[in-house]
């Protein structure tokens, strides 16, 4: 509390409620809080480019040093043809020089040509598949939050009751079953038996084709969100300032929404970073299971074909998206919890 102003300390001491710090905007220390949040945001943003550079560097050298190459086929190419192809794509140069050329092109937004799908550039392939993959990921995250947070609240308010037991059973089942098992089961029930939803493929402008993939991807995330919300809310509801609010005669709804819920959501916001990573990696499997023409298939096929520019382009895009969403989660965490931005 050293960084809080004297009026802020008085507000906290008078109520015992950390939520009072969020609501107190007229004390002289408010500019200090704003500067602290700005400094916290700038520190997080400053780490974005170096982290992405580390990801690009590690991926580049691991890909190039792995056994095999883009021109390895069942029937070996003549040495002269292979040498000409390597010279054409710059693969005959030293690795450090190839890396420097790649970074220079990347700064200008050029991901390079695909070595195997020669009618397209890597940028063309990313533009074709990324919108669908991004839509699937965003839909899964929103669905997980819309289901997980209310379920966790209900379970915390109905502790040791049937609703709480049902949530624990659902969470255990959702976390135990991998997505390549859950997806076919959901397709079997809702697609083949009930015939409510399509079991695979994609039709532009038809969101129902994303219903089962998004649900499959969202279930484990929703289970974790529900468990975090339940545990955090139970802890907050037992805090002294919540008991004081109840003693002052405040209703249960006002205590929940005005005092308990916002601090209780801090662990959920912290979990958004790992959740984004799970959704990004899990979407590769989901797109394969449901036959979606997203960018995940290009990453998998590019890794099989050793198509270096295609794999690197996908890694750069997925890495930038993951880091961006993690940055948003960090900023939300700092906004919800003043202690984080003062560390």
* Domain CATH code at residue 250: 1.10.3720.10
Query: Could you tell me if residue 101 is inside a domain?
Result: no
Rg (CA), the chain: 25
pLDDT of residue 146: 92
- Residue identified by tokens 């050793």 is 306
Range(s) of the domain holding residue 198 = 126-296
Would residue 214 count as lying in a domain? yes
pLDDT tens per residue across span 214-256? 999 899 999 999 988 888 888 877 777 677 766 776 666 676 6
Give a yes or no: residue 288 inside a domain: yes
In a domain, 223, yes or no: yes
Dihedral through CA 139, CA 144, CA 145, CA 150, nearest 10?
140
Which residues lie across from 113 on neighbouring strands? 121
Alpha helices in 69-108 (DSSP H): 79-88, 95-107
The answer to the question of residue 53 being in a domain is: no
Convert the pLDDT of each residue in 280-323 to its tens digit.
777 778 888 888 888 877 887 788 878 888 888 888 888 888 88
pTM of the model: 0.72
Q: How confident is the model at residue 115, as a pLDDT?
A: 81
Specify the number of domains making up the chain. Answer: 1
Give the pLDDT of residue 180: 79
* Domain contains 316: no
Q: What is the pLDDT of residue 3?
A: 45
At residue 2, the pLDDT reads 42
Closest of 301, 312, 295, 300 to residue 127, by C-alpha: 295
Assess if residue 286 is contained within a domain.
yes
The residues, any chain, with a CB within 8 Å of residue 254's CB and separated by 6 or more, are 245
Instruction: Give the residue from 286, 318, 287 showing the smallest Cα distance to 52.
Output: 318
* Residue at 143 is within a domain: yes
pLDDT beneath 50: ranges in the chain = 1-16, 18-28
Residue matched to tokens 């529900």 = 226
Which residues are within 8 A (CB) of 331 and not within 5 positions of it... i.e. 6 or more apart? 40, 41, 44
């Amino acid at each position: 509390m050293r960084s809080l102003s004297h009026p802020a300390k008085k507000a906290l001491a008078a109520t015992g409620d950390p939520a009072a710090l969020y609501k107190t905007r007229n004390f002289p220390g408010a500019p200090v809080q704003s500067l602290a949040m700005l400094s916290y945001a700038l520190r997080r943003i400053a780490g974005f480019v170096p982290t992405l550079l580390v990801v690009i560097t590690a991926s580049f050298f691991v890909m190039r040093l792995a056994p095999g190459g883009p021109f390895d086929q069942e029937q070996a190419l003549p040495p002269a043809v292979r040498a000409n192809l390597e010279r054409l794509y710059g693969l005959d140069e030293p690795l450090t020089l190839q890396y420097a050329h790649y970074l220079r092109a990347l700064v200008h937004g050029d991901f390079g040509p695909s070595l195997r799908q020669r009618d397209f550039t890597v940028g063309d392939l990313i533009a074709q598949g990324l919108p669908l993959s991004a839509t699937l990921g965003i839909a899964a995250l929103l669905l997980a939050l819309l289901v997980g947070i209310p379920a966790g609240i209900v379970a915390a308010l109905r502790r040791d009751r049937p609703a709480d037991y049902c949530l624990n059973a659902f969470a255990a089942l959702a976390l135990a079953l991998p997505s390549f098992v859950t997806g076919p089961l959901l397709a079997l029930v809702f697609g083949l038996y009930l015939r409510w939803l399509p079991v695979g493929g994609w039709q532009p402008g038809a969101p129902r084709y994303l219903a089962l993939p998004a649900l499959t991807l969202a279930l484990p995330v929703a289970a974790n969100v529900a468990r975090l919300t339940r545990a955090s809310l139970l802890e907050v509801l037992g805090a002294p300032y919540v008991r004081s609010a109840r003693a002052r005669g405040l209703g249960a709804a006002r205590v929940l929404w005005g005092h308990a819920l916002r601090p209780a959501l801090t662990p959920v916001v912290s979990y958004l970073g790992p959740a984004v990573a799970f959704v990004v990696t899990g979407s590769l499997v989901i797109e394969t299971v449901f036959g979606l023409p997203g960018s995940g298939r290009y990453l998998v096929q590019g890794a099989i074909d050793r198509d270096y520019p295609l794999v690197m382009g996908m890694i750069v895009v997925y890495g930038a998206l993951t880091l961006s969403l993690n940055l948003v989660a960090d900023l939300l965490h700092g906004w919800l919890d003043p202690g984080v931005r003062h560390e």
